[in-house]
Structure 1
Amino acid sequence: MKSIDPTIVKKKTLIYIPKLNRRQRTIVSTVFAAMLLLAIILGGLLISNERITTNLEIRNLSPSLEHPFGTDWLGRDMFARTIKGLTLSLGVGITAAAFSVLIALALGMLAATMGKRIDALISWLIDLFLSVPHLVSLILIAFTLGGGVKGVVVGVALTHWPSLARVIRAEVMQLRSAEFVGISRQFGKASWWIATRHIFPHLIPQFFVGLVLLFPHAVLHEAAVTFLGFGLSPQQPAIGIILSESMKYLSTGMWWLAFFPGLALLIMVRSFDILGDNLHMLIDPHRGHE
């Protein structure tokens, strides 16, 4: 009887796993990033405030199964504080980024549709805001408005629109030379009608992609301003407050107070960054089928 080579049997039993193309990998990473952000939101809503109340009996505990991020000097669970802080930063970042995108959308359309004088004025404003560092302008605006959520939201909204406004202006200038816009002008349609019916619908994808891409900058600048003491109040479980308070305890060996909240902030920001890049890739007709 002829013997069977075992290597042949192993080759036949191998499971073929199809290789994902770039579009499929993009969709998988987008879904994963969206699920991670959704988990942060649900965690912030479901975790009770009792987890972040003072409990001196369990203070200064290192990370464990019961307290994955450890506890601080007041016995507050750092995992609960971090999730609550991420949820707060998420709300502040989305609100500020939405207002900033609306400003960029309005000014970009005005610059490209209202004549050369308005275009020159808005272009000058864009260059002016781009010449000043975001953090400096944000600190000045937040300090003038007294800090808090209002000061941070207004500060971020007024300092993060110029780059997107320049992109939208260029997009509108390109759309103005399109054939369907020229036909509408020949039929006597007003500029406002063309802007609302032809140009604005083409800018909706730019709005959502700009919102997602502006969010990481908004969150990081909110955390930086709060860390410096010009942002959210110390009573709120913001990531900037957590990192600022933990600095004085790092020399005592309580490394987990800053490490886990900072790592969680970077993961959330990176998730939004991946989400924005992937949405831009999927929406772009030149890259969507790669």
Structure 2
Amino acid sequence: MTCETTDETTGETPSAASVVQGPGGGWRSYGGARRSTRAVRVRVSAVLVGATVLAVLLVPPLVRLDQQAVDLALKLRPPSWAHPFGTDDVGRDLLLRCVYGLRVSLLVGLAAALTATVVGTAVGALAGALGGWVDRLVMRAVDTLASVPHLLMGVFIVAMFRPGVWPVVVSVALTHWISTARIVRAEVLSLRSRPYVDAAVSGGASRWRVTVRHLLPAVLPQAGLAAVLMVPHAMWHESALSFLGLGLPSHTASLGTLIQGARSSLLAGDWWPTLFPGLFLIVPTLALAGLAGAWRERINPRRRSELML
């Protein structure tokens, strides 16, 4: 005796590969299980991103403690009620330092991502709209820059300046606009063949007007998605540069400088000065990447339909 299940919305019988047994013993489609898991992941990512934003906005003005205050009597205290994340090698509260470090790293990531998105969108739109030898020349330059490792190019850029916030922002922006330029160029090339673009050209619209009025607004969702995906990457890039001593000054609390300053403590067996800044870097960046992935599925109908199967 066989038991068949039917889809309530379509009346069709799903295949065995697309049906899984639910926790209550019932049966549900595999696509429904995947959608449910994806929805939970998006909710968790949204909560973590919201907590991150609230922490960097509310903790500095509400907590009246100086995150630079040194108390050698509290040097390298393990986590406790008074100091949930412990203290660092000069007695500073590590929880407060991590929040300030996350604030700096997030601001650097946002500024770098916004700058890189503007540059990449302008270059990609120019190459895609003009086409011909301009497109070939620009894309060959983009391919040449893409062949150089990002971190190596970033080290070369920041080495020409004194350690500071803006050299890091410029370094990350100049090494991360390439992917946005490629995405925008591909979108512009696909939009150039659309009927409404042909109609605008036939009506006497100049190439500049077509680009500004029709092409750029259509590629803004993809450019915005690229910017959101770039923020975690930029935060990791800043942390790597600061860890190498080439990014932010050592007295500035960023996640990279906190991890860099905790190396000696880790070698001595004190794990908390390294663990908690690392978690503050990993968790928010994964949450941002999760939200960006959900956005990508929403604006890409083909990918969304594949994930619903």
What is the TM-score normalised by the length of structure 2? Answer: 0.83
- Identity among equivalent positions (%) equals 34
Alignment correspondent of 1:257? 273
Q: CA deviation at 1:28?
A: 2.3
Quickly say closer, same or farther: Cα 1:62–1:30, change in 2 above 3 A: closer
Q: CA deviation at 1:284?
A: 2.2
Residue 286 of structure 1 aligns to a residue in which SS?
A: helix
Alignment correspondent of 1:5? none
**Residue 219 (str. 1) matches residue 238 (str. 2):** no
Alignment correspondent of 1:185? 201
* Aligned residues between the structures: 275
1:135 to 151, 172, 175: 151
For structure 1, the residue ranges without an aligned partner over 5 or more in a row are: 1-13
Moved more, 238-247 or 44-53: 44-53
RMSD: 2.1
1:40 to 55, 58, 69: 55
- Structure 1 residue runs of 4 or more that deviate by more than 6 Å after TM superposition: none
For structure 2, the residue ranges without an aligned partner over 5 or more in a row are: 1-23
Moved more, 50-59 or 142-151: 50-59
2: distance between equivalents of 1:30 and 1:179? 39
Alignment correspondent of 1:160? 176
Quickly say closer, same or farther: Cα 1:257–1:26, change in 2 above 3 A: closer
Quickly say closer, same or farther: Cα 1:141–1:195, change in 2 above 3 A: same
Moved more, 114-123 or 187-196: 114-123
2: distance between equivalents of 1:147 and 1:114? 39
2: distance between equivalents of 1:180 and 1:92? 39
Alignment correspondent of 1:120? 136
2: distance between equivalents of 1:51 and 1:115? 53
Alignment correspondent of 1:266? 282
1: distance between equivalents of 2:165 and 2:48? 26
Alignment correspondent of 1:285? 301
Deviations 1:230-258 (A, max 9, x none): 11011211111111111112222211110
1:90 to 77, 100, 106: 106
Quickly say closer, same or farther: Cα 1:264–1:232, change in 2 above 3 A: same
Residue 154 of structure 1 aligns to a residue in which SS?
A: helix
2: distance between equivalents of 1:143 and 1:281? 39
**Residue 205 (str. 1) matches residue 205 (str. 2):** no
2: distance between equivalents of 1:222 and 1:201? 31
Alignment correspondent of 1:6? none
2: distance between equivalents of 1:130 and 1:190? 32
Residue 66 of structure 2 aligns to a residue in which SS?
A: helix
Q: CA deviation at 1:43?
A: 4.5
1:196 to 206, 212, 217: 212
Contact 1:142 1:152 in 2 (8 A): yes
Q: CA deviation at 1:136?
A: 0.4
- Tell me the amino acid that sits aligned with residue 51 of structure 2: L
